[in-house]
A and B are shown apart, each in its own frame.
Chain A
Amino acid sequence: MTKSDYDGPILEIENLSISFFTRAGEIPAVMDFSCTVMPGEAMGLVGESGCGKSTVALGVMQDLGVNGKVVGGTIKFKGRDLASFTPDELRDIRGSEIAMIYQEPMASLNPAMKIGKQLAEVPMIHEGASYADAITLALEMVEKVRLPDPQRILNSYPHQLSGGQQQRIVIAMALMSKPSLLILDEPTTALDVTVEAGIVDLVKELGETTGTSMLFISHNLGLVMDTCDRLCVMYSGEAVETGSIEDVFDHMRHPYTQALFRSIPLPGADKNARPLVAIPGNFPLPHERPPGCNFGPRCDYFVEGRCNVGVISMSDVPGKNRDRHESRCVKWDEIDWHAPIAAKVETEVTEPGDVILKIQDLKKYYEVSASALFSSGERRVVKANETLSFEAREAETLAIVGESGCGKSTLAKMLMGLETATDGAITLENKDIGNTEIEDRDTRTVADIQMVFQNPFDTLNPSHKVGDQIIRVLEKFGVGATVAERNEKMLELLDLVKLPREFAGRMPRQLSGGQKQRVGIARAFAGAPKIVVADEPVSALDVSVQAAVTDLLMEIQRVSRTTLLFISHDLSIVRYLADRVLVMYLGHIVELGTTDQVFSPPYHPYTEALLSAVPIADTKIKKKRIVLDGDIPSAMNPPSGCPFQTRCARKSSVPGNLCETQVPPMRILADGHQVKCHLSDDVLEQMEPVITIVAAE
């Protein structure tokens, strides 16, 4: 197929249905899905995991595997039905006309092949270029995706690059033969926010310069808003709403879209005054979909006899200035879309109590040998934590924010006693525990500091019943004297995390992700802990479940007056629930203060960049764009002086080479607000807020 001058829609999907055929029978993954992508247009596909958005992408690629089949509808690429392509023709357009960017860059690059060779393959296959020409082209492309030292990169293997660099290579590979359609399947989910911001910028810019159409798949509404012109919201295999960004974001006409927006922490949400509204219930499994509207059982506007009968198809939402806006709801024109959120209980602000945890000059250094197999005895020191000092009070939520490698997990490990401190002290109610390993801690101390883990799927033993796993913890902590008492306590804990009591007899595999995380929370709160370390407790969960789990944590905390150390990279959720925030970068605390102090100027330059990097799904928000160069330096080889100086956008405002030579001192800006930065007071004074709300229409 030649790249003809075709000016119709690049991609037309009409009533597409895709099913997977397994031993259990036919499982419909996508039903009645339609969308059109015009040349140069960026289309966003949004939805939670399992909603079928990736299946659509693989359908367009005609790569559904042995079990998947298109059972209805057509996918037309440049006016021609993809089903009519022969395998050879398909191979011809793959990589040259349609290219794809994947979620995990490390896994999608061949580990045993040099980057240059993998890139060169594309023009060699599709344009019959010679190896030398292909490499020249690859070099150009690597420069275009703004990677430093392209020659060296072409000669390296994927594992020698960082995650962000790998993703840039995957993008370069996709753009090697200037495709007409680029499919991006969660391209930044595996990356840190500041790296993500760089990738998003790059994709946007390349989209504009090359005029490539894009199909952008993501679960992150903010990201879609930043990158796309139109979007399509999917729920349980169906498109529920489609339209331009403005239409869907500001004038949504489907209850699911509305519920989704209400469950994500946008600026303005507050855990006490304006709590999030979680979507009740769970995502239906493909073989348990209800009749009628799939969202029916979880919908506030559900009407018996109308919403759960027959087939509901997409209907046009007419209106001035509306551009092909459609909704799959029978009641869209009856619902009052401007009604305020149904009264949610407002809660009192909890007053923090006494200092319960005190950390002073805490340090953790690791010694590692350079290579495991052929070690030559050379040892390096990784400074995972550098002189951390902070306090946490009873009933307070202290958020620890930072990207991968900033040392937040090391801090958690030291608190838990999985690692001991190299230097400094951790004081839990006047008892130094910094050098006591978990085996040597007494039961009370162990029960006092508990953890909720990031990945609920791996932290429950798959071969024990949920109830038994909670009882085991109770036994360990000496809660309850008899079996019956413990059993009773376990059932109370299930009540506490709002799980039905019959879940005690279930196996972890029978639970959804959100339910598993609730069990994890129950387990952590079993021994009446003083401190709970929540390590990214909701980041592995779907958006609609996140709100419910977050609220649950808050609610339990309010009652038990537990101190919550909330480790996260997601600033939106931190702003929503934290009382105080601690920002970490490469093992240092760079900023510490109350949530209001940290989220408004003056900022530490890193906090400023972090805030600007987080995509916010609100069209009324204006953001200052600060994109950091490069990647987070390795803790094995940290930069001299200020840890952030290699990427700092404000370094030029500091006279001399202070940043390169000296680690800045911790400065107190206001009561309880500390910043580790060399910037002078008047520069800090003049900082503007990163996020501003543009006056509502």
Chain B
Amino acid sequence: MLTFLLKRSWIMLLTALCLTAIVFFLTNIYPNLEKLAKTQGNMRMTDEQVERWLGDRGYLRPMVSRYGEWLGVMPGWTNTDEDGKFTGRCVNPDDTPETASRFCGVLQGDFGMSTVFKEEVGAIIVKKMGLTGMLMLWVMIVMIPMALIVGVLAGMKEGSRTDRSLSTFAITTTATPEYVSGVIFVVIFSSSMVGLKWFKGSAASAMNEITFENFTLPVMTIALYGMGYIARMTRASMAEVMTAQYIRTARLKGVSFPKIVLKHALRNALIAPFTVIMLQFPYLLTGVVIVETLFNYKGFGWTLVQAASNNDIEMLMGASIIAVIFVLVTQLISDIGYVYLNPRIRVS
């Protein structure tokens, strides 16, 4: 078990390194840097001005050494201009060459400054992940039980009327993209067109305080979309298990139908959907973009879109690390959970 965990951590580290290197390279090719200079400085900068702006801020030095600086394995750049003003990667405004720290990278816990939000990347990630985490949590709380119930009910009697109506429901919700269902929900539940006005069409206030009123619509929009998918998986898995011979054994042993479903079929039927559920987490991390934008809930997805469209290098790098960790940790949980659901696979 321990070797397994170590192995996984090693893979996680390696993936993170590769991914950040790629992101670093892509965000630092010249046209992207030019875009950064123009959005940060002035849209009408000449080519020379762009060059100066980038040069002053250390963007034009060799990419490998700058990646090393970002990682924190190489000392950050420093520069003293003709006015005697001391600047550098790790230099705070009131630092002198003596007091400034030499290394400031990920290894030192410093993710750098976001150029768009003018804030520490680490702090932004913590704050935004908190917001998106809240959204994800509620989505999962609503989505998983609903999906499993729908899937199990549909799959336990394949081809029955319950199966057909629940399957139709599941397919419909999955076939409706979030930007369509979101808009429909807003129109029905919060506009004066229908007049129900049960919920709020904006979740901006939920960033401070989550209430039933402001959070229901975004949660429902994501949950319904994801639910259909998991429900279909569960149904297929359940239907297959219900035809297994050990279910016949149980039936001919005199076990009643509800008990067959709960005691004999459920655990076996959950093995396949469990992996899918765990795969929903990484999807949600970025998949929430549409809903966050639609309901004006400034979470991680929304932040990522802002960072990408402004070539916010440090922010994007930080986000990449988070993404890698998130994917691999959920997969780790998925593998371990799989072992507990399926006794045929055991940690040796």
Q: Which residues of A contact B (CB under 8 A)?
A: 61, 63, 66, 91-96, 99-100, 102, 104, 107-113, 121-122, 125-126, 157, 159, 170, 173, 370-371, 373-378
Contacts and interface: CB of A to CB of B under 8 A. Distances in A.
Given A96-B254, A376-B3, A159 B343 contact: yes
B254 A159 contact: no
Contact of A102 (B1, B249, B255, B342): B249
B4 A374 contact: yes
B253 A122 contact: yes
Contact of A121 (B159, B251, B253, B345): B253
Nearest to A156: B343
Contacts of A126: 254
A92 B254 CA distance: 6
B265 to A, nearest CB: 9
Given A370-B348, A371-B348, A376-B348, A110 B250 contact: yes
Contact of A111 (B252, B263, B343): B343
Minimum-distance CB pairs A-B, first 8: A95-B254, A95-B253, A107-B245, A371-B348, A94-B254, A157-B343, A110-B246, A108-B249
Given A110-B268, A111-B268, A374-B4, A94 B344 contact: no
Contacts of B264: 110, 113
Contacts of B343: 111-112, 157, 159
B161 interface: no
A125 B255 contact: yes
Given A111-B268, A112-B342, A121 B255 contact: yes
Contacts, number: 92
Task: Find the residue from B159, B267, B341 having the highest chain A CB count within 10 A.
Answer: B267
A95 to B, nearest CB: 4
Interface string B307-348: 000000000000000000000000000010001011111111
B256 interface: yes
Given A375-B348, A376-B3, A112 B268 contact: yes
Interface in B246-275: 246, 248-256, 263-264, 267-268
A374 B347 CA distance: 6
Task: Find the residue from B254, B255, B343 having the highest chain A CB count within 10 A.
Answer: B254
B345 A125 contact: no
A371 B342 CA distance: 14
Given A111-B268, A373-B345, A102 B245 contact: yes
A108 B348 CA distance: 26
A158 B159 CA distance: 31
Given A63-B248, A102-B245, A371-B348, A112 B253 contact: no
A94 B252 contact: yes
B4 A125 contact: no
Given A373-B335, A373-B345, A374-B1, A107 B256 contact: no
Contacts of A157: 343-344
Contacts of A104: 245
A20 to B, nearest CB: 16
B254 A91 contact: yes
17 contacts: A63-B251, A91-B254, A92-B254, A94-B253, A94-B254, A95-B254, A109-B246, A109-B249, A110-B250, A110-B264, A112-B267, A112-B341, A113-B264, A121-B263, A122-B254, A374-B3, A374-B348
Interface in B209-251: 244-246, 248-251
Contacts of A110: 246, 249-250, 264, 268
Nearest to A93: B254
B348 A125 contact: no
A96 B246 CA distance: 17
Contacts of B344: 111, 157, 159
Contacts of B159: 66
Contacts of A94: 251-254
Interface residues of B, number: 30
Contact of B256 (A91, A93, A99): A91
Given A159-B344, A373-B345, A107 B244 contact: yes
Nearest to B247: A110
Contacts of B248: 63, 102, 108
Given A63-B248, A374-B339, A376-B3, 19 more contacts: A61-B252, A63-B252, A94-B251, A94-B252, A94-B254, A108-B248, A109-B246, A110-B249, A112-B267, A121-B250, A121-B253, A122-B253, A122-B254, A125-B254, A370-B348, A371-B345, A374-B348, A376-B4, A378-B348
Contacts of B253: 94-95, 99, 121-122, 125, 173
Nearest to B159: A66
Contacts of A375: 348
Contacts of B345: 371, 373
A633 B341 CA distance: 29
Contacts of A107: 244-246
A376 B4 CA distance: 8
B244 to A, nearest CB: 7
Contacts of B245: 102, 104, 107-108
A110 B241 CA distance: 10
Contacts of B249: 100, 102, 108-110, 170, 173
A93 B252 CA distance: 9
Contacts of B256: 91, 125
A93 B254 CA distance: 7
A326 B246 CA distance: 37
A371 B346 contact: yes
Nearest to B264: A110
Contacts of A112: 267-268, 341-343
A269 to B, nearest CB: 36
Contacts of B255: 91, 95, 121, 125
Nearest to B4: A374
A100 B252 contact: yes
A378 B253 CA distance: 41
B332 to A, nearest CB: 12
Task: Find the residue from B244, B245, B252, B343 having the highest chain A CB count within 10 A.
Answer: B252
Contacts of B347: 374
A470 to B, nearest CB: 36
B253 to A, nearest CB: 4
Nearest to A97: B254
Nearest to B271: A112
Task: Find the residue from B1, B263, B335 having the highest chain A CB count within 10 A.
Answer: B263
B255 to A, nearest CB: 6
Contacts of B341: 112
A107 B243 CA distance: 11
Contacts of B244: 107
A214 to B, nearest CB: 16
A53 B101 CA distance: 85
Contacts of A374: 1, 3-4, 339, 346-348
Nearest to A173: B253
A404 B343 CA distance: 25
A99 B248 CA distance: 12
B262 to A, nearest CB: 12
Contacts of B335: 373
A96 B348 CA distance: 39
Nearest to A103: B245
A102 B250 CA distance: 12
B156 to A, nearest CB: 14
A128 to B, nearest CB: 12
A377 B341 CA distance: 24
A552 B195 CA distance: 83
A688 to B, nearest CB: 42
B292 to A, nearest CB: 36
Interface in B138-196: 159
